[in-house]
Amino acid sequence: MAKLAFSKPPLGPKDLLAKLKRQGLVVSPGEEPLALAYIEFNGGHRLKGYWWRSVDQVTKTFKPGQDTFTRLAQQVEFDRKMRALLWQAIELIELSVRSSMANYLSLHHSPHWFLTPAVFKPTEKWGFGGFLKKIEDEVGRSKERRPVAHYFNTYEEPYLPPSWVISECVTLGIWSRIYTVLRDPNDRKAIARRFGVHQPEVFESWLHTVTYLRNVVAHHGQVFGVTLRISPANYKGKRVNGVITGLNLGPDNRTLHGGVKVIHYLLCQSGLPQTFKQDLLQLLANYPADFAATAGFPNGWETQPGWA
């Protein structure tokens, strides 16, 4: 299909609100100042990420029952609070992953395992040199942190701090990559088992999904009603002490619910204090019932395996 030259004129908040009202968005007179504030300071284009599903794609008018500014504002606030909840949960997972990996690899290789090429099996996309450069850059940006500064003020070599220090500098995305290119299958298995997963390829998938969600949330991306670009794999599990562990995500592994279910599983495996499920239940209870379905949560999700 031939591409077009962009020719849409920009619209100010008042003009955009007038256009939406002509398309059927119901805005009471008392709501207009707040509606203009949302357009001005949240962004009209950003708001479209919420209202587009309420608009008939043929007539370009709002559908009956989904045509109020109140509902639009609720979607924005639901999404904001969901991001905040996910950020708190992912923070705990990030701390757990980097601490567990740093501890394990230090004990089984050396405190500077990341300087040993034999620990890794480079891929076409992730070579040892590129990986080491990432660590050097992250440490370089963290030189003012007390543990990093102490190392450089005290030691001459190795030229980088030990694993437990760089773990405070390196992002979850890099830890996820590190896990992918570990050469020894026993390293991958042992790390995954620390999180109750007996299939390294599944744990690798989950790390990628959590990293993806972390980046979406950190950059204020929309999570309400979106399809996950990087979805988690189903975990068939393994029988441990007579109990089969696993996490069946079913057909919803590309919904927000699929990613959230993985986050809950990993949080529970860490054993750290957290109220993720309770907070999630409270959030969903505060908004229209169909919001949960839009986010991929099935009826009775809280009693299903993996949540109960």
How many separate domains does the chain show? 1
**What kind and span of H or E run contains 238?**
strand 235-240
Backbone φ/ψ region at 241: left (φ over 0), alpha (ψ -120 to 50), beta: left
| Of the candidates 229, 269, 284, the residue with the CA atom closest to the CA atom of residue 253 | 229
Domain presence at residue 1: no
CB 205 within 8 A of CB 233: yes
* DSSP string of 264-295, one letter each residue: HHHHHHHT----HHHHHHHHHHTS-HHHHHHT
Domain presence at residue 201: yes
Residues linked to residue 182 through DSSP beta bridges, in sequence order? 120
pLDDT of residue 233: 93
Domain presence at residue 4: no
Domain range for residue 172? 78-303
**Structure confidence by residue, pLDDT tens digits, 103-153:** 999 999 999 999 999 999 988 777 888 889 999 999 999 999 999 999 999
Please tell me the distance from the alpha carbon of residue 252 to that of residue 248, in angstroms, as a whole number: 10
Domain presence at residue 139: yes
| Of the candidates 5, 61, 70, the residue with the CA atom closest to the CA atom of residue 31 | 70
Domain presence at residue 52: no
Whole-structure pTM value: 0.92
Domain presence at residue 37: no
**Structure confidence by residue, pLDDT tens digits, 253-295:** 899 999 999 999 999 999 999 999 999 999 999 999 999 999 9
Domain presence at residue 274: yes
**Structure confidence by residue, pLDDT tens digits, 20-50:** 999 999 999 999 999 999 999 999 999 999 9
Domain presence at residue 224: yes
